[in-house]
Amino acid sequence: MFIFIGRVELLCYAAHYHAEIFVVAYDFMSGSSNSRRDFIVRAGAWTIGAAFVRPFSILAATNSSFPGEPVWTKLSHYGNSVQIFGGSVIGFVGGKLPKLTEVRLALDPAVLKKSQAFPLSPVYAAGNLIEYEHPESLIRIEQFLMDSYSAITANPGLSTYRHEALTYDLVNRRVSDPYGCLYQQQLELVQWPSDSESLFAAYLTGWIDSALYHLKPSASFLQLERIALSRSVSLAKEAEQNLNDCLENLPLLAMLGTNSTVSRIVSSGTVVSSLAALGSSYEKLLPRVTQLMVADPTSAGDGAAWTAVLTYTKELQQAVRSSAVSAESILVRRTGAHAGQLVSRFPAILA
């Protein structure tokens, strides 16, 4: 007699192991030598599968296993629901906060005192977005009123990537993984970007998430990469959007990758044709970037040299007037500040 004990939310990951073991167990009791071997092999596979999902039961059993527990305790007292979402869940269930941890926080104004201040000391706040630095991590918190939060969590919509639908609710301690990303840990598309203009931005987001959350690129992502980096852009509006997307992602591309990573993307057919559509060229910009990196080697680490050149080159000033230098992200703002310092220190290079 075989007894299997587990939580309902864990069975979705191990159900196929259970089914196989019960079937083979019947044959095993019937005396087939092949079935005995199969039973041993498959029982071993089930054990491995159970070990994989064990972190979920650990997290569900005790708050003490939460990485960054003091943060969640304070946020739980401040709001009604605290939900980690997206690829951040992958690192969290492994017992470590990813470098970038995304959180949704539900607020009920009927319960929350108006005079109550946010319980953490943010490094950046704008609108409903708050960014808080935890050791070796940046926790990005989005605040929603309870009605908006309920609408988002009840109907999240169809994600571009599997991992984007992941959630871990820290109040009821429940994992939701509708596409099985935790089991596969692949960077895989659920649906293609809605229009051709979104391909480049979707690719950049996917590349960054794969580096942040250690996701293996799937065939669908590699196909997206080939198309997203080889488009020929002729319209100024699309060219401007591509450059803005590039600037928004430069800090993380540089921090998670290398200067060669940034160079490969900026020298792709999509960006080169976008530059040409706005009256410039990659060949013209590259020497300036190189000069800035020689003058200030730290500018390669966060992409500041590229940001400085793309932002302050005369031909592109109009194109990037609403660029990510003013976007709501502490990482981008720091890179923008570094780029501004480069411009003021080495104006002749960008003249």
pLDDT higher than threshold 70 for residue 321: no
**Nearest residue to 167 (alpha-carbon basis) of 331, 61, 9, 14:** 9
pLDDT tens for 218-261 read 999 999 999 999 999 999 889 988 988 998 899 999 999 988 89
The pLDDT of residue 318 is: 56
What is the per-residue pLDDT across 326-335, written as a single tens digit (0 to 9) for each?
445 788 888 9
For residue 155, name the pLDDT band (cuts at 50, 70, 90): confident
Region of residue 227 (phi > 0: left; psi between -120 and 50: alpha; otherwise: beta)? alpha
Task: Quote the CA–CA distance of 194 and 111 in Å, as a whole number.
Answer: 39
Predicted local distance difference test score (pLDDT) of residue 53: 41
pLDDT at 131: 93
Q: What is the mean pLDDT of residues 270-289?
A: 90
pLDDT of residue 165: 93
Strands (E), 79-158: 81-85, 100-107, 124-126, 129-134, 137-145
pLDDT value at residue 42: 41
List, for residues 172-213, the tens digit of each pLDDT value: 889 999 998 888 899 999 999 988 889 999 999 999 999 999
